């Protein structure tokens, strides 16, 4: 199984979530309306009647609480985890295409990066319709087509919200979700994608329709609050629709509250996992700048908001703390970047951490975080928390 993701960055008006979760779906078409008549367990393009014995309808025991099940790939050392409590297995490190594919690096370099990632066991490739105005999807699609890798061996995710200039070409109307996703599939040259992220409760119906039509296999949320995710889950259960399986959120040394406090509770309650992004803050969490980020830094070139953030008072304090981590990295025999990525992988409920790189060499360095993960003892984590001074505390 694979997943297709359409994400949104628009925030909802949160309504109070239901205290009591609804029971499991009773079967296809068994709710109070909505486009759910296709049989959600069927493969894309499949039709016909739904067989009597469907795995999706067989009651399953609840997944065990605690850490995600993890396995190591033969020959690559890559670790694989379930996406939330779904059965989809994704590499703990994924490859993001924001800024780089179709924008900052050549198509040849992009192919090198993707090839190295795949050969090192990465099976999750994340993109969006807005990245480089669609060129990132086109570049990714061209590479995947030229490589001829089995479609079943990798997961492609995309995000839907910012499309074209017309009012109907952006947002989360059913029209744009469907037409935007069809545009993404055309650029990617794929028959379906693997995960879609959305907003508003009525989007649950649209996402169910997208999955029923075989355009995607799963959907998730992006930059939602915990109450909003819970609301979407409750709506899905109430009206016999398909609930989200994961949330895509920023997570790094200096942004911890949501992934470390809010999302683990949802993981245990309803099985929603996390795919996190920007573990290095667009390349700013590294010791190579010696605590000072120059104007020539590739990460902030052309992004004034990122430059302002890096040069702010808080940004300078964060850079100083990054340098404080250098002795710990040296002790573990790794770089600060590898340490920061491995630290992100420790968080409960995190299925995969998306990497953004500009070269194959940089990717290989970041993939080394998988080996660093096993060295992060409780004592080391406590030392890192002491240096950062920002450990969030659960309200419980």
Look up 131 and say whether it is catalytic.
yes
Whether 9 contacts 248, CB under 8 Å: no
d(CA 133, CA 102): 9
If one counts every other C-beta atom within 10 angstroms of the C-beta of residue 59, the result is 5
Which runs of E-coded beta strand occur in the chain? 70-72, 79-82, 89-91, 93-96, 124-126, 155-157, 196-198, 219-222, 246-250, 273-277, 350-355
Whether 167 contacts 197, CB under 8 Å: no
In whole angstroms, what separates CA 172 from the centre of its chain?
A: 19
R_g over Cα of the chain = 21
Whether 256 contacts 391, CB under 8 Å: yes
The CA angle 267-181-169, to the nearest 5 degrees, is 115
If one counts every other C-beta atom within 10 angstroms of the C-beta of residue 305, the result is 8
Question: Catalytic residue among 80, 118, 131, 209, which?
Answer: 131
If one counts every other C-beta atom within 10 angstroms of the C-beta of residue 240, the result is 20
Catalytic residues: 131
């Amino acid at each position: 199984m694979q997943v297709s993701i359409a994400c949104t960055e628009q925030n909802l008006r949160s309504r109070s979530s239901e205290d009591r979760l609804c029971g499991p779906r009773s079967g296809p078409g068994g709710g109070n309306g909505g486009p759910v008549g296709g049989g959600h367990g069927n493969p894309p393009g499949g039709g016909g009647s739904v067989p009597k014995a469907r795995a999706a309808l067989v009651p399953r025991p609840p997944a065990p609480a605690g850490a995600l099940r993890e396995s190591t790939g033969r020959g690559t050392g890559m670790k694989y985890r379930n996406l939330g409590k779904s059965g989809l297995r994704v590499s703990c490190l994924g490859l993001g295409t924001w800024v780089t594919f179709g924008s900052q690096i050549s198509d040849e370099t992009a192919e090198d990066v993707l090839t190295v990632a795949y050969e090192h066991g990465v099976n999750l490739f994340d993109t969006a319709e807005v990245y480089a105005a669609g060129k990132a999807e086109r570049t990714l699609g061209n590479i995947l087509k030229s490589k001829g890798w089995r479609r079943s061996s990798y997961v492609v995710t995309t995000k839907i919200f910012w499309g074209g200039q017309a009012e109907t070409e952006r947002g989360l109307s059913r029209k744009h979700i469907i037409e935007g996703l069809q545009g993404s599939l055309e650029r990617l040259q794929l028959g379906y994608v693997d995960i879609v992220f959305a907003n508003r409760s009525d989007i649950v119906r649209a996402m169910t329709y997208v999955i029923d039509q075989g355009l995607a296999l799963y959907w998730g949320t992006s930059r939602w609050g915990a109450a909003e995710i819970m609301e979407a889950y409750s709506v899905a259960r109430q009206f016999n629709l398909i609930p989200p399986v994961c949330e895509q959120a920023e997570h790094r040394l200096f942004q911890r509250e949501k992934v470390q406090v809010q999302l683990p509770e949802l993981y245990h309650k309803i099985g929603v996992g996390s795919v996190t992004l920007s573990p290095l803050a667009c390349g700013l969490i590294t010791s190579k700048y010696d605590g000072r980020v120059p104007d020539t830094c590739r990460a902030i070139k052309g992004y004034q908001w990122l430059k302002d953030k890096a040069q702010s008072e808080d940004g300078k304090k964060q850079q100083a703390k990054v340098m404080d981590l250098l002795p710990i990295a040296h002790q573990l025999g790794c770089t600060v970047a590898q340490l920061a990525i491995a630290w992100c992988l420790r968080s409960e409920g995190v299925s995969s951490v998306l990497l953004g790189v500009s070269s194959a060499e940089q990717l290989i360095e970041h993939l080394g975080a998988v080996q660093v993960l096993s060295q992060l003892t409780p004592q080391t984590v406590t030392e890192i928390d002491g240096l950062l001074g920002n450990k969030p505390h659960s309200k419980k």
